Amino acid sequence: MKHSIFYNGQWQSHQGDYFNVYDPSNGESLGLVPSASKNDMKKIIQSAYDSFELWSNKTAEYRCDLLEKLYDLVLAEKEEIATIMTKENGKPYGESLGEVIYGANFLKWYSEEGKRIYGQFIPSSQSNKRIMVRKQPVGVVYGITPWNFPFAMITRKMAPALAAGCPFIIKPAKETPLTAIKFFELVEKVGFPKGVANLVTGDAKKITEVVMNDERVRKITFTGSTEVGKLLMSQSSQTVKKISLELGGHAPLIVFDDADIKKAVAGTIASKFRNCGQVCIATNRVFVHESIQADYTAALIEAVKVLKMGNGFEECVKIGPVINKKGHDKIHLQLEDALSKGANLLLGGQSHHVGKVDSVGYFFEPTIIDQVTTNMDIFYDETFGPVIPIITFTNDDEAIKLANDTPYGLASYFFTESISRGFEVSEKLDYGMVGFNTGAISSAQAPFGGFKESGIGREGGHFGLEEYLEVKYICLEI
Ligand code: NAP
């Protein structure tokens, strides 16, 4: 089936090239998606720009009502969206359904928060001056999203942008554009004014180049690798665009000597194996106190052993395929490197390939290794796969120092039954997000984002709305 791009309020006929989307569990083709040309991109920007005045001047209630309508449509078709997501991404169907509901929550939350964009009246030091501050939409926004959360990464950007009064253009990842296309069928039904919500697919570099050279696009919001994030940061400097970056992570999970081991194991599973470990906030390094290392490891092996691997539509499957060969090879190389430098394989370690296409169809067993040290690649590089490396520590300072020893600073987790220790550790961890006795931290109300090379800005909650607003100061002399 051949799909289309959506702009100026309608699906557009496409004359140019298409690209194939594959099912990562077996390599079957799922459909053809347009490769937008530079000229298409110019037309998309024009239509978004043309809609700005109308959209930003609508009342907050008007904009928020449309977002709420979109939320209702998404929930009514959540199973269909989840089915498409499992086909193109491979994640277990239950996880896809969970992502649709999580993603829909951003539509709902910003349909409420969008009514609360307040300014300020600041007391002046001069009696004849009045200082007023108002917030106003930044302008046309261009969003780029990755394949690992094909739905929620879009709504986490689009809902606050539209609520703030900004027209929005989304470019989903080439591996997972079909979820976005299905979502835009619902966007079309809502009836946003022409040009307010737009979907473009195709060569990321080519399309983005047009955006970066166009001063009318005022904001870039990106989720993806740190490498591409740095590139976009430098490109967006040409026209000094506002920029938000949600980049890579290398989350530590610390199990202190007074941890509840059952809780710690459940938290490790929750934070590690979602989407086959292909998650920016996935636990990538487990630090365990030497006194409980044996008990924790034994319990973890028992819990991981039962995780069924396979096609995401099969019953009880918890581990789907790796997205592609590149992803598979990275996991494989990290594991080989660790084992060659003295790590000990406790579980898993094998992978296999199915299907006819070489580029996709890879499964990697859930894997646990211990005796991991800082000279191994897995200690510093984001894994994006189902491998748990265990490192043993002897005191709190050592654990925190090791946990912070990374250029990333996205998510972190720890387990302790002591509130005082927990507070101290949460303050010392150099991360934008901290899970204290939990491995599940994402929610629409909370500020999601990272320190250091994990990004700039926040998504979710009222912080997420600020990213799409400019602050205007008005000084009145009376
Ligand atoms: P990626 O290679 O950076 O791709 C992400 C998106 O950027 C895709 O849409 C991709 O388009 C596009 N892109 C690639 N090169 C580009 C360029 N030169 N100019 C403009 N756009 C470009 O990352 P990925 O491998 O797909 O995703 C995994 C990464 O995302 C991991 O590092 C993960 O930690 C991070 N991530 C972060 C968060 C967060 O919230 N912090 C959430 C999820 C994932 P194409 O697909 O068309 O190439």
Report the pLDDT value the prediction gives residue 145, as an integer from 0 to 100. 98
> Of all protein residues, whose CA lies closest to atom 8 belonging to ligand 1?
173
Q: H helices of 114-225, where? A: 152-164, 177-190, 204-212
List the one residue out of 33, 30, 24, 19 whose CA is nearest residue 184: 33
The CATH T-level fold of domain 251-443 is: Aldehyde Dehydrogenase; Chain A, domain 2 (3.40.309)
Instruction: State what percent of residues in the chain have pLDDT above 90.
Output: 99
Contacts of 250 by beta carbon, 8 Å cutoff, 6+ apart: 284, 285, 380, 381, 382, 406, 408, 410
List the one residue out of 431, 381, 379, 383 whose CA is nearest residue 409: 431
Tell me the mean pLDDT in the region 85-106: 98
Work out which ligand 1 atom sits closest to the CA atom of 203: 47
- Cα 143 to ligand 1 centroid, rounded to whole Å: 11
Neighbours of 206 (CB within 10 A): 13
Which residue out of 228, 382, 456 has the highest number of ligand 1 atoms within 8 Å of its CB and is therefore the one to mutate?
Answer: 228
The CATH T-level fold of domain 5-247+454-477 is: Aldehyde Dehydrogenase; Chain A, domain 1 (3.40.605)
- Cα 289 to ligand 1 centroid, rounded to whole Å: 35
Tokens of 387: 């491998």
Report the pLDDT value the prediction gives residue 356, as an integer from 0 to 100. 78
pTM of the predicted model as reported, rounded to 2 decimal places: 0.97
Which residue out of 38, 145, 148, 329 has the highest number of ligand 1 atoms within 8 Å of its CB and is therefore the one to mutate?
Answer: 148
Per-residue pLDDT tens digits for 306-328: 999 999 999 999 999 999 999 99
Work out which ligand 1 atom sits closest to the CA atom of 235: 19
- Cα 222 to ligand 1 centroid, rounded to whole Å: 8
Q: Is the pLDDT of residue 355 over 90?
A: no
Per-residue pLDDT tens digits for 183-228: 999 999 999 999 999 999 999 999 999 999 999 999 999 999 999 9
Which residue out of 38, 174, 220, 225 has the highest number of ligand 1 atoms within 8 Å of its CB and is therefore the one to mutate?
Answer: 225
Report the pLDDT value the prediction gives residue 357, as an integer from 0 to 100. 87
Q: Is the pLDDT of residue 352 over 90?
A: yes
**Angle of the 261-272 helix axis to the 293-305 helix axis, nearest 10:** 50
Work out which ligand 1 atom sits closest to the CA atom of 227: 3
Q: Is the pLDDT of residue 105 over 90?
A: yes
Q: Is the pLDDT of residue 1 over 90?
A: no
- Cα 126 to ligand 1 centroid, rounded to whole Å: 50
Work out which ligand 1 atom sits closest to the CA atom of 208: 20
Pocket of ligand 1 (CB under 6 A): 144-149, 171, 173-174, 204-205, 208, 223-225, 228, 231, 246-249, 280, 382, 410, 450, 455
User: Parallel, antiparallel, or unpaired: how do β-strands 362-364 and 351-353 relate?
Assistant: antiparallel
Give me the residue label for tokens 């984002």. 449
Integer Cα distance of 44 and 213 in angstroms:
14
Which residue out of 144, 448, 454 has the highest number of ligand 1 atoms within 8 Å of its CB and is therefore the one to mutate?
Answer: 144
Catalytic residue of the set 113, 246, 382, 453: 246
Report the pLDDT value the prediction gives residue 417, as an integer from 0 to 100. 98
- Give domain limits for the chain: 5-247+454-477, 251-443
- Cα 228 to ligand 1 centroid, rounded to whole Å: 7
| Residue 280 designated active-site | yes
Tokens of 58: 């609508």
Question: Residue 66, SS3?
Answer: helix
List the one residue out of 107, 438, 473 whose CA is nearest residue 270: 438
- Cα 174 to ligand 1 centroid, rounded to whole Å: 10
Kindly list the distances between the CA atom of residue 156 and the CA atoms of 149, 264, 279, 294, 446, in Å, as whole numbers in the listed order.
11, 29, 16, 40, 11
Work out which ligand 1 atom sits closest to the CA atom of 175: 46
**Cα-flanking dihedrals φ and ψ of residue 476, to 5°?**
-110, 130
Share the mean pLDDT of the chain: 98
Could you write out the DSSP letters of every residue in 334-395? HHHHHHHTT-EEEE---EEE-SS-SSS-EEE--EEEES--TTSHHHHS---SSEEEEEEESS
The pLDDT-based confidence of 125 (bands split at 50, 70, 90) is very high
- Cα 32 to ligand 1 centroid, rounded to whole Å: 21
| Residue 88 designated active-site | no
Integer Cα distance of 97 and 102 in angstroms:
9
> Of all protein residues, whose CA lies closest to atom 30 belonging to ligand 1?
224
Q: How many residues does the chain have?
A: 478
> Of all protein residues, whose CA lies closest to atom 39 belonging to ligand 1?
246
Sign of the CA dihedral 368, 372, 376, 378? positive
> Of all protein residues, whose CA lies closest to atom 22 belonging to ligand 1?
204
- Cα 244 to ligand 1 centroid, rounded to whole Å: 13
Tokens of 199: 């979907």
Report the pLDDT value the prediction gives residue 97, as an integer from 0 to 100. 98
- Cα 382 to ligand 1 centroid, rounded to whole Å: 13
Catalytic residue of the set 95, 166, 280, 453: 280
Work out which ligand 1 atom sits closest to the CA atom of 149: 43
Question: Residue 24, SS3?
Answer: coil
